[in-house]
Amino acid sequence: MERNAGSWWKWLLGLIVGLLVIMVVIAFVQARAKGSERGVRISEEDKQKYIQVCILLEKAVQEHTSVLEEFKKKYGLSENMAELADSVYREKHPEVVKAWEEIQEEWNAKEQEIYRKVGLTGEEFLRIASALTDPANADIQKEIEQAISQAKGE
């Protein structure tokens, strides 16, 4: 069943949100393993940087969607690009694999550029995300959600 562009976008956004949740969980576990203090409030500066990164990442995802659509169209890939997980397909189509790896490298570079532009590292972003799970930061979490929603025009 073919998905329309809207559902593809929702699928991709869901995937990215899912990955971010996994990254937050990993950061949370790592922070616990290091014995970090719970109950530490997120600073205003960290909150603002976190909001900026989230907004910029969302815009980057929107832009990246068209890159993915063009890639799928150019190489005749299925909507979910399952071919890229097929070792036989990968062996027969190294040019597709190379193009896919370049797209992934471009995304990683774009993500790192966003962190650099805002003045955070990926690890700091995850630290803040992990701290947002602390009940001491529940109000800040709501403020961040509202700021991101406002930026999206919701």
Instruction: Check if the beta carbon of residue 103 is closer than 8 Å to that of residue 3.
Output: no
Pick from 41, 51, 21, 43: nearest CA to 147: 51
DSSP category for residue 84: G
How far from 90 is each of 71, 119, 124, 147, CA to CA, in Å?
15, 38, 36, 42
Contacts of 26 (CB under 8 A, 6+ apart): 126
Query: pLDDT (tens digit, 9 = 90+) per residue, 32-41?
Result: 555 445 677 8
Q: Which of 16-20, 48-52, 81-85, 145-149 has the lowest mean pLDDT?
A: 16-20
* Domains in the chain, number: 1
DSSP category for residue 136: G
Query: pLDDT (tens digit, 9 = 90+) per residue, 2-21?
Result: 445 556 666 766 777 767 76
